[in-house]
Amino acid sequence: MMHQLFLSIKNTHAFWKAKIFEATKSKTKLLFMITRSKIPAKHDAGTPISLRILIHNAKKIARKRGLASIVIQALSRLIGIALSIFLARMLGADAFGIYAYAFAIMSLMMILGEIGVPNLLMREVAAAYSRQHWGLMRGALVRSAQVVVSISIVITIASLFVVYTLVEHFRATTFTTTIIMLVTMPVAVWGKSVAYALRGLNWELAGQSAELLLRPLFAFLIVVTAFLAMPQTRTPEFAMFSQLLGACITLTVAGWWLSRALPKQSVPGQINFRDRHWGPSTLRFTLISGGLVLNNQLDIVMLGWFAADEEVGAYRIAMQGALLVAFGIQAVNRVVSPKISALYARGEMERLQKIVSQSARLIFIFSLPIGFTMIFFGESVVVFAFGAEYGAAHLPLAILAAAHVAKSLFGPVAALLNMTGFEKKTFWAIGAAAVVNVALNLALIPNFGSTGAASASAASLLAWHTILYILTRRTIGIRSDVV
């Protein structure tokens, strides 16, 4: 019996050693094994030395990837701000307002074009990859492309018909910019789906780059080159055209990465679809992601109904400045979310409380100095970066920055609910915040303009996180606040 036990231990050691040796040929594969729990996250003294060393090295790789993820997000935010500064100075307040409004409309229309497919695709591809169900993986990739392309094209055609019907109500510049925006939307939606497929295949950094970094980077390079070399291109139409070119290049690069990321075994063979499963899932993901985008973009869209283009452009600047305050919580959430999920699954509530509290303090420490600068020195920052004609953005900027600083006091409350299986509660909180947002925008914008829009967004943001905090305490028993 001892001989059989010795053989069993020896075979288990050899199995894991072979698995890890094969995985270390590709860092991506090794990280996938860890994140999908094929290798124990925690090892005891009985774990073989070689296995412990390889697991330790793999965890170091995972930490480096977490840092790289934060860098990608930071670069994306900085490039977006640099693009806004350049366009605001080159176009002027009126033309920049036209571009900003069209961009906000495109963000809302992408919700309808995506219908929740990117998030569902990432989940389905990851599950099929982990189980080596190549038919299901190919089916998910094919069906996602069919759905997002066909739906987004239908939406574009219907929108073009509406725009052409109302052409006499548009200024010529606004009309052309809107047309280019509608053409850009399907390409951007398809590119986002490919990016999420890469993330499902555990090409996390490539997927994040395709989702967050490449399109603004290419658009920035194109518009800077054109505006400086050919002054006649300094129009909102060309600014939006640069987004179209950036989306096309991003889709091409992401498609090439996807062709390399796909396992060789998945290329041949039959395709299996799970169409019945997709309907309810896409609806749920659409509602959640749609609520988030709606809360982020609704104020600028509704402001465009009542205010001049110059005020819309100034408010766009205020929004981007305030998002710098929120960068800390976004970066921390992306890094800490897997840890929250793992600790909750293992029932380690004390360690979970410790990590959540540390994350909350880190978020607040990051947000406070940036928020303080935007609140008390926002006018100087705006005038220095964008020009004196955008000075009116300072009050909306101060209101939004104060709201994001207050939000940071709640800590990673949304990630805590989502990563512990209570995402439905997050959805209801987002829905409640969207209703508050719409009602307050309708009440405040006609009388107070961009200041009213900022106040409505600030109130809905705080209402949303207050609800999440209460739900977290009641359902999980964890305090996510700074205290």
pLDDT (tens digit per residue) in 191-237: 999 998 998 888 888 988 998 899 999 999 999 999 999 999 999 99
Cα 291 to the center of its chain, rounded Å: 13
Alpha-carbon gap, residue 477 to 483, rounded angstroms:
15
Alpha-carbon gap, residue 332 to 413, rounded angstroms:
11
Alpha-carbon gap, residue 404 to 327, rounded angstroms:
10
State the pLDDT at residue 62: 53
Alpha-carbon gap, residue 147 to 192, rounded angstroms:
13
Mean pLDDT of 471-483: 85
Helices (runs of H) and strands (runs of E) counted in the chain: 16, 0
State the pLDDT at residue 97: 93
What are the two backbone dihedrals, phi and then psi, of residue 422, each rounded to the nearest 5 degrees? Answer: -115, 40
Whether the per-residue pLDDT at 246 is higher than 90: the answer is: yes
Banded pLDDT at 402 (limits 50, 70, 90): very high
Alpha-carbon gap, residue 396 to 41, rounded angstroms:
46
Work out the burial of residue 18: count CB atoms within 10 Å of its CB; fewer than 13 is exposed, 13-18 middle, 19 or more buried.
exposed
Bigger pLDDT: 41 or 299? 299
Whether the per-residue pLDDT at 175 is higher than 70: the answer is: yes
Give the global pTM.
0.77
C-beta of residue 127 within 8 angstroms of C-beta of residue 164: no
Mean pLDDT of 460-482: 88
Alpha-carbon gap, residue 427 to 433, rounded angstroms:
10
* AA letter at 417: L
C-beta of residue 409 within 8 angstroms of C-beta of residue 111: no
Alpha-carbon gap, residue 318 to 217, rounded angstroms:
21
Bigger pLDDT: 245 or 277? 245
* AA letter at 104: A
Banded pLDDT at 417 (limits 50, 70, 90): confident
Mean pLDDT of 313-324: 90
Of 314, 289, 278, 280, the C-alpha closest to 299 is: 314
Mean pLDDT of 262-286: 66
Give me the half-sphere count of Cα atoms (radius 13 Å) on the Cβ side of residue 325. Answer: 27
Range in 25-29, 138-142, 426-430, 477-481 the model is least confident about: 25-29
State the pLDDT at residue 167: 80
DSSP for residue 280? H
State the pLDDT at residue 192: 92
C-beta of residue 102 within 8 angstroms of C-beta of residue 134: no
Mean pLDDT of 78-86: 93
C-beta of residue 416 within 8 angstroms of C-beta of residue 340: yes
Backbone CA torsion sign across 412, 382, 100, 216: negative
Instruction: State the angle between helix axes of 93-114 and 309-346 in degrees (0 to 180), rounded to the nearest 10.
Output: 40
Cα 92 to the center of its chain, rounded Å: 29
| CB proximity list for 427: less than 8 A, separation 6 or greater | 284, 287, 288, 291
Q: Tokens 């405040």, residue?
A: 444
Alpha-carbon gap, residue 305 to 370, rounded angstroms:
31
Average predicted confidence (pLDDT) for the chain: 81
Report the percent of the chain where pLDDT is more than 90.
36
Q: Which range scores top for mean pLDDT: 77-91, 291-305, 317-331?
A: 77-91
Mean pLDDT of 314-341: 83
* AA letter at 264: K
Distance of CA 475 to CAs 81, 333, 401, 462, Å?
38, 20, 30, 20
Alpha-carbon gap, residue 296 to 82, rounded angstroms:
20
Whether the per-residue pLDDT at 22 is higher than 80: the answer is: no
Alpha-carbon gap, residue 198 to 393, rounded angstroms:
38
Whether the per-residue pLDDT at 2 is higher than 80: the answer is: no
Banded pLDDT at 83 (limits 50, 70, 90): very high
